[in-house]
A and B are shown apart, each in its own frame.
Chain A
Amino acid sequence: MSEASVTTNRLAPLAEDTVGPYYPYSFIDGDRSDLTRLHYGLSVGPQGQQIILRGRLLDSDGAIVDDALVEFWQANAAGILRTPDNDGHPLLDPFFDGFGRLITTTEPFAFRTIKPGALPAEGGMAARAPHITVTMFSDGITRLVTQIFFDDEPEANAQDPLLASLPGELRERLIARRIETPADGPAVYEIAIVMRGPGETPFFDDLSS
């Protein structure tokens, strides 16, 4: 019935749709907003510097978007992503898988994690500055994807191919600012992700969508 069926044997995928306003809160089970521990009450955990990424997901009125599903993906402190490509990699951290998620409230969200390392150049792919991939689902939108960088990595950021693909004023919108450095607590970085309007965050896509 679809055009695709007469030009290819591939199955036609479903269309991505909005998550709507009623994604069940209870589906967020287990605390994936904190990747610094696998379970409560352990004295062991992932390697690296503990950080908090404090973010505000904003609409075109500058209001915080609540009930959005936000998912995070990042490398460990050594810059290694836990993907099939890296199975058995000696620098994988057994206490860190790198996928987090939360549902936003009317307050800024806080994602507690390990500061990702820079991804090494490999297999023809460029080195990458430390970054966290952020995917957002909410009422009114389908998936939005971007990557967030750190303002205390100016040299790495200057070499990053994703940042380099953007005009300068847009690059700045992807860089989280370190706001405080308590001696005994995690470093806190702040970012505003503007879904639409003045200061709109650049979002990313590929050619297969």
Chain B
Amino acid sequence: MSLIIDRGRLMLPGPTDGAAERRVPSERLHLIPEAARRSFVPWITDLPGLKLGENDLTRIAPGRPQAEGEVIEISGHVLDEFGRPVRNTLVEIWNANKWGRYTHVKDPVRERLDPNFLGFGRTMTDEAGRYRFRTIMPGSYLARPDIDRWRPAHVHVSIRGGSARLIAQMYFAGDPHLARDPMFILLGEAQPRHFGNLTGQGPSGEALYNWDIVIGGRNTAYFES
């Protein structure tokens, strides 16, 4: 028996603030013919050289003053669906400051900027697929004042290297804004996987979160070797 599927997924209208209804394709995605698969998955080897301290978002650079807010540590593994480590892969994160503001020039939120916080950092996974960041606990922010909708505290992550490519968000369990956040709601049954797991306290009292990043679905073409 053969399964005949001639059209791919219909992308659901995404959640973000007017952009989705103008940007999400209205047509179903087209399935890639088997004969055309090989050129769809980039093999990314050209990654930046990183500077010391780029995985520590709590300071603009080593030796600079510490940003305001609660220091947290986020660490874990980047893995494929078979539990194998995704090694030597770039992990980028970015998050809002204590008051819920990004340093990005386009952020319209009028909350305070922190002169000691840029809000983005990078690292490479090691041979076991491990990564580690220190950052400031992000504030929630009023994303849609017109309908009083807040975004819960979250950390964005981007994975890039080899055939790995993923963009996702980590959330914090218990955040009161989760229940009304369309992005979190749209995660559906995947919601639990997007929580950092609070595992304890570090030597300076910082909260330690463990978050394993599992990459699957697309982009697995070259994991098999």
- Is there an interface contact between A82 and B190, defined as CB atoms closer than 8 Å? no
- On whether the beta carbons of A166 and B30 are closer than 8 Å, the reply is yes
**Residues from chain B with Cβ under 8 Å of A67 in the complex:** 106
A40-48, A124-132, A150-158, A180-188: which lies at the interface: A124-132
- Contact between A200 and B194 (Cβ–Cβ < 8 Å)? no
Which chain B residue lies CB-closest to A202? B30
Closest chain-B Cβ to A102's Cβ sits at a distance in Å of 14
Chain B residues whose C-beta falls within 8 Å of the C-beta of A70 in the assembled complex? none
Question: Which of B42-50, B61-69, B172-180, B199-207 participates in binding chain A?
Answer: B42-50
Is A196 among interface residues, defined by CB-CB distance under 8 A? yes
Contact with A along B112-131 (1 / 0, CB 8 A): 00000001101000000000
Taking CB atoms, residues of chain B closer than 8 Å to A81 are: 38-39, 43
Report the Cα distance A140→B107, complex, angstroms: 15
CA distance A140 to B21 in the complex (A): 8
* Distance, CA A15 to CA B190, complexed state (A): 7
A147 contacts which chain B residues (CB < 8 A)? 36, 39-40
Judge if B33 is at the interface, Cβ distance under 8 Å: yes
Contact A19 B158 (CB under 8 A): yes
**Complex Cα gap A150–B186 (Å):** 38
- Give the complex CA separation of A160 and B39 in angstroms: 13
Cα A25 to Cα B15 with chains together (Å): 23
Interface residues of B in 51-95 (CB under 8 A from A): 79-83, 92, 94
Q: Which residues of A contact B212 (CB under 8 A)?
A: 11
For residue A172, give the distance in angstroms from its CB to the closest CB of chain B. Answer: 15
| Cβ distance A19 to chain B, nearest Cβ, rounded Å | 5
Q: Does B166 contact A (CB under 8 A)?
A: yes
> Do A59 and B22 touch across chains, with their CB atoms under 8 A apart?
yes
Chain A residues, CB < 8 A from B105: 25
Partner of B122, one of A2, A17, A27: A27
Across-interface contacts of B79 in A (CB, < 8 A): 11
User: How many residues of chain B get a CB closer than 8 Å to chain A's CBs?
Assistant: 76
For A30, give its contact among B8, B48, B193 (CB under 8 Å): B48
A32 to B20, CA, bound (A): 27
State which residues 10-26 of A face B: CB under 8 Å: 10-26
Task: With both chains docked as a complex, state the minimum distance between the C-beta of A143 and any C-beta of chain B, in angstroms.
Answer: 7
- Is the pair B31, A82 in contact by a Cβ cutoff of 8 Å? no
Name which residue of chain B comes closest to A13, CB basis: B216
In the complex, A165 Cα to B30 Cα: how many Å? Answer: 9
Check if B83 sits within 8 Å of A16, measured CB to CB: no
Nearest CB in chain B to that of A163: its residue: B36
Q: Digit string of B8-40 for contact with A (CB within 8 Å is 1, else 0)? A: 110100111111111111110111110111111
Chain A residues with CB below 8 A from B187, complex form: 15, 17
B209 proximal to A (CB < 8 A): no
| B222 CB contact (under 8 Å) in A12, A22, A84, A135 | A84
Contact status B23-A161, CB under 8 Å: no
Kindly state the separation between the CA atoms of A52 and B35 in the bound complex, as whole angstroms.
Answer: 27
Q: Is the CB of B82 within 8 A of A11?
A: yes
Q: Which residue of A lies closest to B192 (CB)?
A: A1
| Minimal beta-carbon separation of A55 from chain B (angstroms) | 15
Whether A206 pairs with B40 at a CB distance below 8 angstroms is: yes
* B102 on interface, CB distance cutoff 8 Å: yes
**Judging by beta carbons under 8 Å apart, are A196 and B22 in contact?**
yes
In the complex, the answer to whether B220 meets A195 with C-beta atoms within 8 Å is: no
Shortest CB-to-CB span from A65 to chain B, Å, is: 7
**Is the C-beta of A75 less than 8 angstroms from some C-beta in chain B?**
yes
Shortest 4 CB-CB contacts between residues of A and residues of B: A140-B19, A13-B216, A205-B29, A73-B42
Measured CB to CB, the residues of B under 8 A from A are: 5, 8-9, 11, 14-27, 29-33, 35-46, 48, 79-83, 92, 94, 102, 104-107, 119-120, 122, 156, 158, 165-169, 183, 187-190, 192-194, 212-218, 220, 222, 225
